[in-house]
Amino acid sequence: MIWLIRTCRFPLLVLLFSTFSVRQEPGTASTQHENQRSVVVFVCEHGSAKSVIAAAYFNKLAKEQNLEIRAVSRGTNPDQEIAPKAAAGLRADGLAVTGEKPERLSKTDVATGIRVVAFCELPEAYKESSRFVEWNDVPSVSADYSAARDVIVAHIKRLINELKAEK
């Protein structure tokens, strides 16, 4: 009997821990999958300036309005880090940029986003979605952060109103 307990100890622990790991807390992978339809994807060429500013402001404004939609930033040709002027501008505006690294736009982003907002030219395959929107009128962040931010925020306010009307 003792031999059976000793030899079964490891499989029993594995079974015990795997049972506990099935229960997911909010915000973990299984609930993230359920909420993927509640994501707005902002895309700029390098994923380091306009899309970062847009995602930060969208998340701030959506939270203030209790809108359960979040935003992510992507790039078609991502930089290694967030653009210094975008990061400095966001910090000056009281929005934190916490060591994020620009990520490449994926087909999954496009397929699961409730909107895909592009500040740059996207490959045709990404434009097929009826949820695709272009915001071509945003000035360069490196030339004038405040002007770029103001145009982005005006667009975001309209987008949030559209999304609220759809719900």
For the stretch 35-87, pLDDT in tens is 445 999 999 999 999 999 999 999 999 999 999 999 999 999 999 999 999 99
Average pLDDT across the chain, whole number: 80
What pLDDT does residue 68 have?
94
CA separation for the pair 43, 21 (Å, rounded): 35
What pLDDT does residue 25 have?
31
Nearest-CA neighbor of 73 among 90, 95, 50?
50
What domains are there in the chain, each with its CATH number? 31-166 (3.40.50.2300)
- Residue in the structure block whose two tokens are 């060429």: 45
Q: Are 115 and 40 in contact (CB under 8 A)?
A: yes
pTM to 2 decimal places = 0.77
Percent of the chain residues past pLDDT 70, beyond the cut: 76
25-42: per-residue pLDDT in tens? 333 333 343 344 599 999
Please state whether beta strands 39-44 and 70-75 pair in parallel, antiparallel, or not at all (unpaired). Answer: parallel
Hey, which residues does 115 pair with through a beta bridge? 40
- Band of pLDDT at residue 13, cut at 50, 70 and 90: very low
Compute CA 24 distance to the chain's CA centroid, rounded to the nearest angstrom.
Answer: 21
Distant-in-sequence, close-in-space partners of 103: CB < 8 Å, separation ≥ 6: 47, 72, 73, 74, 75, 78
